[in-house]
Amino acid sequence: MANYTPKNILITGAAGFIASHVANRLVRSYPEYKIVVLDKLDYCSNLKNLIPSQSCPNFKFVKGDIGSADLVNYLLITESIDTIMHFAAQTHVDNSFGNSFEFTKNNIYGTHVLLEACKVTGQIRRFIHVSTDEVYGETEEDAVVGNHEASQLLPTNPYSATKAGAEMLVMAYGRSYGLPVITTRGNNVYGPNQFPEKLIPKFILLAMRGKPLPIHGDGSNVRSYLYCEDVAEAFECILHRGEVGHVYNIGTKKERRVIDVAKDICKLFNMDPETSIKFVENRPFNDQRYFLDDQKLKDLGWSERTIWEEGLKKTMEWYINNPDWWGDVSGALLPHPRMLMMPEEDKPNFTGSFYSKTKAMVEELLKEYDNVCTLRVRMPISSDLNNPRNFITKISRYNKVVNIPNSMTILEELLPISIEMAKRNLRGIWNFTNPGVVSHNEILEMYKAYIDPDFKWANFTLEEQAKVIVAPRSNNEMDATKLKSEFPELLPIKESLIKYVFEPNKMT
């Protein structure tokens, strides 16, 4: 067992959930340590999470991105950082099925920048890298032995794959440059300060509003949950006693099915589970179970303190006492929230072609006028399948097509809406697409079903696809919430495609 005393700790991602508990705990318990927090304040973060530390002399908050090498180098040097606890990441699996490039950018590239800064500055005595149980992939339902720290990494979804990728870089910097690294792999965490896209706070907020609790699939998936304060204590233990070069699981053997979590929350709110639980479409892939061997951390002296019933009650009370902590979170409370979609306020970020550059410039110029209504159209589709500019005509004639889910604009439905918008004198910027996404292959399947049963097409291989895509466009999915709330009758993209394009053209 090591005996390490840090001086100046950089904690990344501490305006988020887990790291805010770790930062507040270390600031409070160790006034002799300086705690510097670096966080880019993404949608899931909240500066209020750090209120307990804000007035403490040993605490400093810096808003910034771990992907900025200049900023990270500057902080390490000017703050004489000797210890890094790296939590910052994109963390929501649902988002990673939509906008996975953001996961690679933040979780892998961001970690790489931190590691390189450690190499360049040469002053880091501990780099604690926070990973997840999900890197092990799914545990067999009947397995009696949990994954131990030497088990193989077999991630199954884009989120866990980026977490495993980041781990590989951490390991390599340990081996190649002698960076004193420690990696943790944790079970699910719950408690105050968690953004309500995750299961427990989402169910609590929905229950508070008297709304049904949506369960992905049949709810038989099993998860293990640890209370946030216990996890903060585990990090305190690993910081001081963890051995360099080692991996530590932060786990519990107590497992519960998602359906039982929902039932427990119903009980706390006196709701009838029979009528309050709603089963919805499952994720593209949903690991059945993550089961960890938690002995190694126990040997360092840590153990779980908070029993489930007590932790869940405390969490419920906190959300009831802080109903406005997050502001408007209606988007996060959907069954499959996609918080990384592009809302209107996001700056246009694709300048990969002259066309898109000029479009972005014009938007910028028009912003000066308050009587302008800008409609952001994406991949316009009409029912005229002979028009060569129609997206469907184009892809049905290509030799090979890529296959990427995208937001699209069904003109027959949306052009009348644009006239109505002018009548209503609506102004500002509007994402002008149908809600949801549809992929090239899904459209071509419909083409085959409705227009030409003999139609065949070929897809690019993933390698070819990477070459033909001009830029790593991460914003294929636009957030149509604003348009949908003005025009509630607006159809989801696939329904609109069938109603306005394929049904009218159907071969009889």
Ligand X SMILES: NC(=O)c1ccc[n+]([C@@H]2O[C@H](COP(=O)([O-])OP(=O)(O)OC[C@H]3O[C@@H](n4cnc5c(N)ncnc54)[C@H](O)[C@@H]3O)[C@@H](O)[C@H]2O)c1
3-class secondary-structure state, position 135: helix
Residue 163 touches ligand X, criterion: CB under 6 A: yes
Site string for ligand X, 194-213 (x = CB under 6 A): -x------------------
The least distance separating ligand X from the CB of residue 332, rounded to whole angstroms, comes to 11
Residue whose C-alpha is closest to residue 45's, from 224, 212, 255, 193: 193
Nearer to ligand X, 262 or 395 (CB): 262
- Options 188, 249, 315, 406; binder of ligand X; rule CB under 6 A: 188
H helical segments located in 370-480: 391-397, 411-423, 440-450, 462-468
Q: Does 337 bind ligand X (CB under 6 A)?
A: no
Residue 30: enclosing H or E segment and its boundaries? none
Q: Are strands 213-216 and 277-280 parallel, antiparallel or unpaired?
A: parallel
At which residue do the structure tokens 């397995």 appear?
143
CB of 489 to ligand X, least distance (A): 35
CB of 201 to ligand X, least distance (A): 10
Q: Which of 9, 24, 45, 483 binds ligand X (CB under 6 A)?
A: 45
DSSP 62: E
Q: Tell me the closest approach of the beta carbon of residue 44 to ligand X, in angstroms.
A: 4
The answer to the question of residue 392 lying near ligand X (CB under 6 A) is no
Contacts of residues 43-47 at CB distance under 8 Å and 24 or more positions apart, as own/partner, are 43/195, 43/339, 43/340, 44/16, 44/17, 44/91, 44/92, 44/195, 44/197, 44/339, 45/13, 45/15, 45/16, 45/195, 46/15, 46/193, 46/195, 46/325, 46/326, 47/15
Among 170, 189, 204, 491, interactor with ligand X by CB under 6 A: 189
List binders of ligand X among 57-76 (CB under 6 A): 65-67
From the list 102, 133, 294, 479, the catalytic residue is: 133
Query: With binding defined as CB under 6 A, does residue 409 bind ligand X?
Result: no
Q: How far is the CB of 326 from ligand X (least distance, A)?
A: 11
Query: In sequence order, which ranges of 126-227 are alpha helices (DSSP H)?
Result: 158-177, 199-208
Q: Which is nearer to ligand X, 186 or 311 (CB)?
A: 186
Clarify whether 134 is annotated catalytic: yes
Contact 268, 208 (CB under 8 A): no
Residues 356, 362: Cα–Cα separation, whole Å:
10
Shortest CA distance to 91 belongs to which of 4, 175, 15?
15
**First vs last C-alpha separation in the chain:** 76
Residue 460 binding ligand X, by CB under 6 A: no
| Closer residue to ligand X, CB minimum distance, 107 or 406 | 107
Catalytic residue, from 159, 173, 225, 227: name it.
159
Q: Which of 42, 82, 94, 134 is catalytic?
A: 134
Minimum gap (Å) between residue 58 Cβ and ligand X? 20
Q: Which of residues 85-104 bind ligand X (CB under 6 A)?
A: 87-89, 91
Determine if 234 is a binding residue for ligand X (CB under 6 A).
no
Q: Are 113 and 67 in contact (CB under 8 A)?
A: yes
Which of 182-190, 325-333, 363-371, 422-430 is the region at the interface with ligand X (rule: CB under 6 A)? 182-190
Answer yes or no whether residue 308 interacts with ligand X by CB under 6 A: no
**Residue 411: CB minimum distance to ligand X, A:** 37
Among 9, 10, 15, 35, binds ligand X (CB under 6 A): 15
Residue closer to ligand X by CB (options 66, 266) is 66
| Residue placing its CB nearer to ligand X in the complex, 15 or 81 | 15
Written as six digits, the tokens of 219 are 């709810």
Per 3-state DSSP, the chain is made up of helix, strand and coil in percentages (nearest 5) of: 40, 15, 40
Q: From the CB of 256, what's the least distance to ligand X, in Å?
A: 14
The interface region with ligand X, picked from 10-18, 307-315, 344-352, 469-477 by CB under 6 A, is: 10-18
CB atoms within 10 A of CB 206: 21
Closest to 225 in 3D by CA, of 287, 277, 291, 145: 291
- The encoded tokens of residue 329 equal 């979170």
164 binds ligand X (CB under 6 A): no
H helices then E strands: how many in the chain?
21, 18
Residue closest to ligand X (Cβ) = 16
Q: Per CB under 6 A, which of residues 24..43 are in contact with ligand X?
A: 38-42
Question: From CA 379, how far away is CA 486, in angstroms rounded?
Answer: 22
Interaction between residue 306 and ligand X (CB under 6 A): no
Nearby residues of 246 by Cβ (< 8 Å), 6 or more positions away: 149, 182, 183, 296
Stretch (H or E) spanning 317: helix 308-321
Q: Please give the residues from 100 up to 139 whose contact with ligand X meets the rule CB under 6 A.
A: 106, 110, 130, 132
- How many chain residues bind ligand X (CB under 6 A)? 30
Under rule CB under 6 A, residue 289 binds ligand X: no
The answer to the question of residue 235 lying near ligand X (CB under 6 A) is no
Among 10, 22, 36, 44, binds ligand X (CB under 6 A): 44
Shortest Cβ 223–ligand X spacing (Å)? 9
CB atoms within 10 A of CB 347: 8
**Nearest CB to ligand X, comparing residues 89 and 478:** 89
The site for ligand X (CB under 6 A) is made up of 12-13, 15-19, 38-42, 44-45, 65-67, 87-89, 91, 106, 110, 130, 132, 163, 186, 188-189, 195
Name the residues annotated as catalytic.
133-134, 159
